[in-house]
């Protein structure tokens, strides 16, 4: 009988949390389809993981804000690969006064964080459903439990990811596909976030996890079929605080702190 080779598809896999998730899966001997923007050296990561962990891996370069690219990726995967895990990790965001944000900036957040994630899930679900056990992991953020002034679009896009994931999870209950949503707190992944983290107080800094630790927790809990993943003890406390503190109080606190932060920096950064 022919053995079927299964793959895990990860978006945003060339750096940050996506790359850490790829390493975590490779350590568990999972074969990988790593999707990244063009020109991010994904082939280097692919070759490294293949040799280091004796797995099969393949890279695919594309800009997921373009609808045709997402459709092409879905077609290519369904024609050539059997996947039993989809990790929608690619996501962008930042702090910006809404009025001064460009249409392109807003569009890119919506197209990547929402449309690409939903279309990929929709286009690859039949492939996942054909496997004995399959998993979808959507990467949201603690910012999902906003709202946050001077960020507005990013937390709203991540609130969508939360709502979409929990709804789909309930819809697929009893099927072979498990859907989890992860809400990481701050991680020093890119230059903007790292610079922001440097300015945090000791208490806020204590909530920061490495992308590697976050990835390890996410994959472990995903395989346990936990629907809601909040990596790290301090982030769990932040989650409880966000859920219990009245919105009007939170908005007052965040308005002051984020306005101050924005005045200190011009560059975008994650929550």
Ligand X SMILES: NC(=O)c1ccc[n+]([C@@H]2O[C@H](COP(=O)([O-])OP(=O)(O)OC[C@H]3O[C@@H](n4cnc5c(N)ncnc54)[C@H](OP(=O)(O)O)[C@@H]3O)[C@@H](O)[C@H]2O)c1
- Smaller CB separation from ligand X, 78 or 190: 190
Of positions 59, 146, 155, 184, contacts ligand X by CB under 6 A:
184
Segment 1 to 20, residues that bind ligand X, using CB under 6 A: 11-18
Segment 205 to 224, residues that bind ligand X, using CB under 6 A: 211
- Smaller CB separation from ligand X, 176 or 234: 234
Residue 84 and residue 128 in contact, taking contact as beta carbons nearer than 8 Å: yes
- Smaller CB separation from ligand X, 176 or 213: 213
Q: Using omega within 30 degrees of 0 as the cis cutoff, is the peptide bond preceding 147 cis?
A: yes
Segment 102 to 131, residues that bind ligand X, using CB under 6 A: 112
Long-range contacts made by residues 61-67, C-beta under 8 angstroms, separation at least 24? 61/35, 61/36, 61/37, 62/35, 62/37, 62/38, 63/37, 63/38, 64/11, 64/35, 64/90, 64/111, 64/112, 64/116, 64/120, 65/107, 65/108, 65/111, 65/112, 65/116, 67/111, 67/115, 67/119
Q: What's the residue count for the chain?
A: 271
- Smaller CB separation from ligand X, 149 or 185: 185
Binding segment for ligand X (CB under 6 A), chosen from 90-98, 199-207, 249-257, 259-267, is: 90-98
Binding site for ligand X (CB under 6 A): 11-18, 36-37, 40, 63-65, 89-93, 112, 139, 141, 184, 186-187, 189-190, 193, 211, 270
């Amino acid at each position: 009988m022919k053995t079927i080779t299964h793959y895990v598809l990860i978006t945003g896999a060339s750096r940050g949390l996506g790359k850490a998730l790829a390493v975590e899966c490779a350590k568990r001997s999972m074969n990988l389809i790593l999707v990244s923007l063009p020109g991010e050296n994904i082939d280097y990561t692919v070759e490294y993981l293949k040799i280091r962990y004796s797995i099969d891996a393949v890279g695919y370069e594309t800009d997921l804000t373009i609808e045709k690219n997402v459709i092409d990726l879905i077609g290519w995967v369904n024609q050539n690969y059997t996947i039993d895990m989809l990790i929608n990790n690619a996501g962008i965001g930042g702090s910006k006064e809404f009025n001064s944000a460009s249409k392109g900036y807003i569009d890119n957040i919506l197209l990547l964080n929402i449309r690409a994630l939903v279309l990929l899930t929709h286009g690859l679900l039949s492939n996942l459903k054909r496997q004995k056990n399959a998993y979808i992991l959507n990467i949201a953020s603690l910012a999902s439990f906003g709202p946050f002034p001077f960020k507005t679009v990013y937390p709203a896009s991540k609130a969508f990811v939360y709502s979409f994931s929990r709804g789909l999870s309930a819809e697929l209950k009893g099927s072979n596909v498990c859907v989890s949503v992860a809400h990481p707190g701050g991680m020093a992944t890119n230059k903007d976030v790292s610079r922001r983290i440097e300015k945090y107080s000791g208490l806020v800094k204590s909530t920061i996890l490495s992308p590697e630790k976050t990835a390890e927790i996410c994959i472990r809990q995903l395989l346990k079929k936990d629907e809601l993943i909040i990596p790290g003890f301090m982030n769990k406390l932040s989650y409880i605080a966000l859920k219990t503190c009245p919105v009007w109080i939170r908005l007052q606190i965040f308005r002051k702190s984020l306005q101050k932060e924005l005045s200190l920096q011009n560059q975008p950064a994650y929550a």
